[in-house]
Amino acid sequence: MPKIQSVSSFMPPYSYSQEEASKLMKHLFTDHYADLERMLKVFENGEIESRQFCVPMEWFEHTHDLEERNRLYIELATSYGVLAINACLQSQEFLVQSVHPSEIDAIFFISSTGFSTPSIEARILNQLPFSDYVKRIPIWGLGCAGGASGMSRAFDYCLAYPKAKILVLCVELCSLTFQPNDYSKSNLIGASLFADGVACALVCGDDVDIQSKKPCPTFVATASKTMANSENVMGWDMKNDGLHVVFSKSIPSIIEKWLEPFVTDFLKDHQLTPDQLDYFIAHPGGKKVLSAYESALGFDSSKTEISRKILRKHGNMSSPTVLYVLESFMKLESSVGDIGLLAALGPGFSGELILLEWQ
């Protein structure tokens, strides 16, 4: 079956503590909430310690029109994408020998925080020596589920083309969407949670002979599910000044009720139960989201510790975040036959599951 042979993650240049972010929000919102001190507790209670951004802290203090935001998105998504691809293809952690860009057959580009036509991967092709014939598959609008969905679609591609080498590149610059004049609770919660991140994965078909330095996760199966009439659970509202976050307070309760049958039915189809999983590779949407995973699936906190670690260090970076978690699992001393479930949830409201076996 197709396999994941390398993963890389990229750290944007500006790193700030959660305390620094909270002080900025207090400065910006102080005249607009009667109970601001209570509201700002969300920064303390989210179990996030630091986050990385593509712009310095003072950028958030000013208004920026959509043109400026998107210009920065195109410029930085392209340059960061180049760095993440190089790190993935040249990984000394996972690959015995580096892979040249000209060997890549297709690129899935995943993002939801900016707009570009031609899409970002087309711009990246002009900066790295890819083949002129590489397939381009940009996917927009999947939000936090995008990393898992992109990996699933790469799996589908490799089933059809077993000689294919595929890159899944996730770039989210959530900071560029921040609205300093939006005093909604959703914007404040988003400001406490979201960050910037970039990750890239190399997925290869059955007939690709690339040597790995350690056992690597092989796809067993995938599943996608969308909840009917749930468009308002999470996503964006498009306004004249850009993207405004939609973030329902019901997300944790929805996960608890909706996720359990999705996961257990999927595992049952493969003669497995949740307690048989060696690894749970969960997108850490937030502290409450991880707690909802545990409650829904009967896991103790040890099953989500790596996801919590990524959340603490980086916040929720939307689509790339689950690849940061996957990278951490791939660095472990895994054994052949270990079983993992990769899971992410996003706008739609939708979920993506990937069953993996280390080979």
Under 8 Å between Cβ of 20 and 48: no
Q: Is residue 151 part of a domain?
A: yes
Backbone angles phi, psi at 123, to 5 degrees: -70, -35
Domain boundary among 178, 204, 230: 204
So what's the pLDDT on residue 252? 75
> Residues 191-205: pLDDT tens digits?
888 999 999 999 999
So what's the pLDDT on residue 295? 87
Please indicate, yes or no, whether residues 81 and 24 belong to a single structural domain of this protein: yes
Q: Is residue 92 part of a domain?
A: yes
So what's the pLDDT on residue 32? 75
Residue range of the domain that includes 153:
3-204
Please indicate, yes or no, whether residues 100 and 139 belong to a single structural domain of this protein: yes
Q: Is residue 155 part of a domain?
A: yes
Domain boundary among 147, 179, 204: 204
Q: Is residue 186 part of a domain?
A: yes
So what's the pLDDT on residue 250? 72
Q: Is residue 353 part of a domain?
A: yes
The total of other beta-carbon atoms located within 10 Å of residue 355's CB is: 21
Please indicate, yes or no, whether residues 82 and 178 belong to a single structural domain of this protein: yes
The total of other beta-carbon atoms located within 10 Å of residue 252's CB is: 19
Residue-level pLDDT, tens digit, the chain, 359 residues: 999 999 999 999 999 999 999 888 888 888 777 777 887 888 888 889 999 999 999 999 888 999 999 999 999 999 999 999 999 999 999 999 999 999 999 999 999 999 999 999 999 999 999 999 999 999 999 999 999 999 999 999 999 999 999 999 999 999 999 888 888 877 888 888 899 999 999 999 999 999 999 999 999 999 999 988 877 777 888 888 888 888 777 777 787 788 888 999 999 999 999 999 999 999 998 888 898 889 888 898 899 999 999 999 999 999 999 999 999 999 999 999 999 999 999 888 889 999 999 99
Please indicate, yes or no, whether residues 63 and 189 belong to a single structural domain of this protein: yes
Q: Is residue 54 annotated as part of the catalytic site, yes or no?
A: no
Please indicate, yes or no, whether residues 197 and 236 belong to a single structural domain of this protein: no
Structural domain count, the chain? 2
The two tokens of residue 122 are: 């087309």
Please indicate, yes or no, whether residues 93 and 195 belong to a single structural domain of this protein: yes
**CATH code of the domain containing 305:** 3.40.47.10
Please indicate, yes or no, whether residues 94 and 145 belong to a single structural domain of this protein: yes
Domain boundary among 204, 237, 254: 204
Please indicate, yes or no, whether residues 239 and 287 belong to a single structural domain of this protein: yes
**Cα separation, 58 vs 53, whole angstroms:** 12
Q: Is residue 211 part of a domain?
A: no
Please indicate, yes or no, whether residues 67 and 193 belong to a single structural domain of this protein: yes
Please indicate, yes or no, whether residues 198 and 221 belong to a single structural domain of this protein: no
Q: Is residue 13 part of a domain?
A: yes
CB within 8 Å of 229: residues ≥ 6 apart? none
Under 8 Å between Cβ of 136 and 122: yes
Please indicate, yes or no, whether residues 134 and 31 belong to a single structural domain of this protein: yes
So what's the pLDDT on residue 214? 92
Q: Is residue 326 part of a domain?
A: yes
Please state the pTM of the whole predicted model. 0.95
Please indicate, yes or no, whether residues 172 and 257 belong to a single structural domain of this protein: no
So what's the pLDDT on residue 183? 81
Backbone angles phi, psi at 143, to 5 degrees: 55, -135
Catalytic residue among 88, 144, 170, 216: 144
